[in-house]
Structure 1
């Protein structure tokens, strides 16, 4: 599928926003959140550049599901570590186990629906954490109102990540053409929400 000029522009802006987030916005966070956010936005930056350079077909790679998991897992880990003191170690354990569970179920043949169940469970928990936690913190007045934009970005990454992951798993939610067509818009929109939410929230 040919990538349009508009999609290339959106992806380039997405890459610039991700680089800005890494270089300026997360500076000053504590060590683990900084590492987690750097991984998340680093993967997003590299993914955007690969799509620009190699085309949308790069998403056909079998490692996409594994790599795509790193973004919501590390983002949610950073949020929990910063804002939910009593759950941070437990969530770190979940993130590590979740990543390796997807790595194993995607690297070796597995019976039945186990890979799909593992994928949905890990993505679901991470995505809901990114979506709900910033909005809850904003409503409670524990952060500035614009931090809720991180939650909106979380909803977008959940939609895009699940759609892409289930496509690669052979259980598409939408048609391949629709998913690949809207993906650059989703990547741009969610990155913009993340950067604005972290910076002004």
Structure 2
């Protein structure tokens, strides 16, 4: 990992910390469960970034890190479902729980089913984070700039699936290990900036 990567990851962590604080502030006023889910996602992003800075990209090979990192898309997608699709949140909650358990079991046990569990779960969570904010913005059911959260969702989905294939020993399209590690830190920063823009607009909107 280069010095540039570490600086970018540090900036990403600071933005994640800022977002967590904004969600905590709103939670103090509204006591809404979705802010807890959002905080979970971005606190895990902060911790993951710090671990990468300290231990380099090699830590991504750890099944425990892979399992914990799953809480990033889990937290954000659960927050969106609770905030905007409360009628469907129960069904998705069960799916998310089963997905997390499947990823934990297949990763820690070394099961070949990990190559299925991780892309499926990350893919579904990523699609929710991508499509839902964009649709809500178009329909006028969310603040206009909330579609930026969807941009972050596209980036988190792409990065998550690419990493999942790498950890399973396979390659997704042209996403070789060298290429993924070269773009990972900037990708995380761009993702977090997109999330920050969309979510802060939502928080300010009330």
Normalised by the length of structure 2, the TM-score is 0.90
Of residues 5, 8, 11, the one that matches 1:7 is 5
Aligned residue number for residue 74 of structure 1: 75
Of residues 15, 18, 27, the one that matches 1:17 is 15
- Structural mapping, 1:1-201, within 5 Å: 3-29=1-27, 30-110=31-111, 114-173=113-172, 174-201=175-202
List gaps (5 residues or longer) in structure 1.
none
Following superposition, the deviation at residue 25 of structure 1 comes to 4.1
Following superposition, the deviation at residue 109 of structure 1 comes to 4.4
Q: In structure 2, do the counterparts of structure 1 residues 192 and 26 end up closer, same or farther at CA, with 3 Å as the change threshold?
A: farther
Q: Deviations over 1:76-102 (max 9, x none)?
A: 010000000210111111111111111
**How many residue pairs were aligned?**
197
Following superposition, the deviation at residue 12 of structure 1 comes to 1.0
- Runs of at least 4 residues off by over 6 Å: none
In structure 1, what is the Cα distance between the partners aligned to 2:64 and 2:34?
25
Q: Deviations over 1:89-124 (max 9, x none)?
A: 1111111111111111222243xx532222222111
In structure 2, what is the Cα distance between the partners aligned to 1:157 and 1:77?
15
1:27 aligned counterpart, secondary structure? helix
CA contact (8 A) 1:26 1:37 kept: no
Q: In structure 2, do the counterparts of structure 1 residues 60 and 106 end up closer, same or farther at CA, with 3 Å as the change threshold?
A: closer
- Deviating more after overlay: 182-191 vs 53-62: 53-62
Q: In structure 2, do the counterparts of structure 1 residues 162 and 154 end up closer, same or farther at CA, with 3 Å as the change threshold?
A: same
Q: In structure 2, do the counterparts of structure 1 residues 53 and 164 end up closer, same or farther at CA, with 3 Å as the change threshold?
A: same
List gaps (5 residues or longer) in structure 2.
none
CA contact (8 A) 1:68 1:161 kept: no
Normalised by the length of structure 1, the TM-score is 0.92
In structure 2, what is the Cα distance between the partners aligned to 1:56 and 1:123?
19
Query: What CA RMSD, in Å, does the superposition of the two structures yield over aligned residues?
Result: 1.5
